[in-house]
C-alpha cells in the first residue's frame, strides 16, 4: 500500500526540511514547495492526503491559495502554519473565505515537533474513516459504535459521551439512507443530529473556557461554521435532495466529525491534560 502523501508549502527551505523529516517519520511521502506556483503544479499532478500551508508566502498569500484550492475542489485536510500571530491562524475567518477547504489544524511557528507529529499521526487515522465512509457508495453499512475507539478519547467523559452520540446519530442517518427510507424520515434524523450538534458544541465551548484554553474562541468559530452547514442541509427543500447529495453529505459528516475530533478536539485535550499535570501547555 502506497504511503499517504503530504504536500508542504513554505518559503523557508529549512522549515520545509524540518517538516519533511517529521512527515516522513509519521509515515508520509513528502513533497515540499517554496513557491505557490510549484504548489499549484503539484496539486494538478495529484491530490495529497494532507497539506501544510504557510499563511505568508511570496506572490500568493495563504488565503488566496486556500481560495484557489477551493476552486480546484481540493478538499484534503489542511494544517495552517504561521509565525505572524493568531490573526493569520484564524480558522473561522479562513473557512468563511474558503468554505470548501478542510482546515484540520492550526500551528504557530516556531513549530513544536511533537505537536506536528501528533497532528499528522491523527490525520493518518482519518484515512481509515474516509474508506469507511465511501463504503456507503457500495451499499455497505458504516461502523456502528457502542463505544469510541481509544484513539478518539479526549479524557473528558462528558465530551466523549457527546462524541459517541454524534457518531450514533450519523449512523442513524446512514441507515435511513441505505434502507431507502422516505425523505421525511431522513430529514427527521438530520434535524436531531443538527440539534444535538448545537448542544454538544455549547458544552464543549464551555469546557474549553472553564479550563482557560487559549484557542477556545477560534475553536468556537469553526463550530459555528460547521454547524451552519449541517443546519443548512437539514433544512434544505426536499425537492433538492437526491441520492448523490445524500452520499456526499454522508461522507462529509463522517470525515468532518472524525477529523475534527482527531485534530482540534484532541489538541485541546492534550492542552488540558498538560495543565492538569502541572506542565506548561504550549
Q: What is the DSSP string of 13-63?
A: HHHHHHHHHHHHHTT-EEEEESSHHHHHHHHHH---SEEEEESS-SSS-HH
Q: Where are the alpha helices (DSSP H) in 72-182?
A: 91-97, 113-134, 157-178
Task: Identify the H or E element spanning 53.
Answer: strand 50-54
Burial of 83 (0-12, 13-18, 19+ CB in 10 A): middle
64: CB partners within 8 A, 6+ apart: none
Same domain for 30 and 145, yes or no, is no
Q: Would you say residue 123 lies in a domain?
A: no
Same domain for 238 and 143, yes or no, is yes
CA 244 to chain centre: 22
Query: Does residue 186 contact residue 177 with C-beta atoms inside 8 Å?
Result: yes
Same domain for 159 and 255, yes or no, is yes
Same domain for 137 and 79, yes or no, is no
Rounded alpha-carbon distances, angstroms, from residue 12 to 32, 37, 56, 83, 208: 10, 15, 11, 12, 34
Distance CA 104, CA 165 (A): 22
CATH number of residue 244's parent domain: 1.20.120.50
Q: Is the pLDDT of residue 48 over 50?
A: yes
Same domain for 46 and 78, yes or no, is yes
Q: 214-244: per-residue pLDDT in tens?
A: 888 878 877 876 777 777 666 666 666 666 6
CA 207 to chain centre: 20
pLDDT value at residue 61: 79
Q: 177-214: per-residue pLDDT in tens?
A: 777 777 778 778 888 888 998 999 999 999 999 999 98
Same domain for 88 and 50, yes or no, is yes
Same domain for 196 and 265, yes or no, is yes
Q: Would you say residue 281 lies in a domain?
A: no
Q: Return the C-alpha cell found at 209.
A: 473556557
| 3-class DSSP state of 88 | helix
Q: 83-100: per-residue pLDDT in tens?
A: 876 555 665 555 556 666
DSSP assigned state of 128? H
Residue with cell 446512514: 174
Q: Would you say residue 120 lies in a domain?
A: no
Same domain for 146 and 255, yes or no, is yes
Please give the tally of structural domains in the chain: 2
Rounded alpha-carbon distances, angstroms, from residue 224 to 132, 217, 249, 254: 26, 11, 18, 18
Rounded alpha-carbon distances, angstroms, from residue 173 to 112, 142, 225: 39, 11, 21
Q: Would you say residue 152 lies in a domain?
A: yes
88: CB partners within 8 A, 6+ apart: 55, 56, 62, 80, 82
Percent of the chain with pLDDT over 90: 26
Q: Would you say residue 269 lies in a domain?
A: yes
Q: Would you say residue 158 lies in a domain?
A: yes
Among residues 111, 136, 152, the one where a domain terminates is 111
Instruction: Give the domain extent around 145.
Output: 128-276
Same domain for 63 and 191, yes or no, is no
Query: Does residue 157 contact residue 201 with C-beta atoms inside 8 Å?
Result: no
> Using 50, 70 and 90 to split pLDDT, how confident is the model at 104?
confident
Neighbours of 99 (CB within 10 A): 13
Same domain for 147 and 105, yes or no, is no
CATH number of residue 45's parent domain: 3.40.50.2300
Among residues 86, 111, 136, the one where a domain terminates is 111
Same domain for 53 and 138, yes or no, is no
Same domain for 107 and 132, yes or no, is no
Highest mean pLDDT among 48-52, 180-184, 251-255: 48-52
Is the model's pTM score more than 0.85?
Answer: no
pLDDT value at residue 206: 94
Amino acid at each position: 500500500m502506497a504511503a499517504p502523501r503530504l504536500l508542504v508549502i513554505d518559503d523557508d527551505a529549512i522549515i520545509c526540511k524540518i517538516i519533511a523529516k517529521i512527515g516522513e517519520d509519521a509515515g508520509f511521502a513528502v513533497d515540499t514547495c517554496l513557491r505557490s506556483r510549484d504548489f499549484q503544479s503539484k496539486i494538478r499532478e495529484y491530490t495529497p492526503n494532507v497539506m501544510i500551508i504557510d499563511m505568508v508566502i511570496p506572490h500568493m498569500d495563504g488565503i488566496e491559495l486556500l481560495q484557489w484550492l477551493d476552486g480546484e475542489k481540493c478538499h484534503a485536510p489542511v494544517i495552517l502554519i504561521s509565525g505572524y500571530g493568531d490573526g493569520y491562524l484564524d480558522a473561522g475567518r479562513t473557512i468563511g473565505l474558503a468554505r470548501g477547504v478542510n482546515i484540520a489544524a492550526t500551528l504557530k511557528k516556531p513549530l513544536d515537533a511533537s505537536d506536528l507529529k501528533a497532528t499528522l499521526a491523527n490525520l493518518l487515522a482519518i484515512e481509515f474513516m474516509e474508506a469507511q465512509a465511501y463504503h456507503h457508495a457500495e451499499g455497505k453499512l458504516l461502523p456502528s459504535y457502542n463505544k469510541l475507539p481509544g484513539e478518539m478519547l479526549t479524557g473528558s467523559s462528558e465530551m466523549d459521551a457527546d462524541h459517541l452520540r454524534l457518531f450514533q446519530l450519523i449512523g442513524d442517518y446512514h441507515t435511513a439512507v441505505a434502507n431507502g427510507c422516505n425523505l421525511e424520515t431522513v430529514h427527521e434524523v438530520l434535524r436531531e443530529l443538527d440539534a444535538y450538534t448545537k448542544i454538544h458544541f455549547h458544552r464543549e465551548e464551555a469546557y474549553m473556557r472553564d479550563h482557560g484554553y487559549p484557542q477556545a474562541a477560534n475553536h468556537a468559530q469553526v463550530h459555528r461554521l460547521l454547524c451552519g452547514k449541517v443546519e443548512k442541509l437539514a433544512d434544505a427543500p426536499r425537492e433538492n435532495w437526491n441520492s448523490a447529495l445524500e452520499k456526499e453529505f454522508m461522507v462529509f459528516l463522517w470525515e468532518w466529525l472524525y477529523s475534527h475530533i482527531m485534530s482540534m478536539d484532541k489538541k485541546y485535550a492534550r492542552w488540558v491534560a498538560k495543565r492538569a499535570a502541572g506542565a506548561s501547555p504550549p
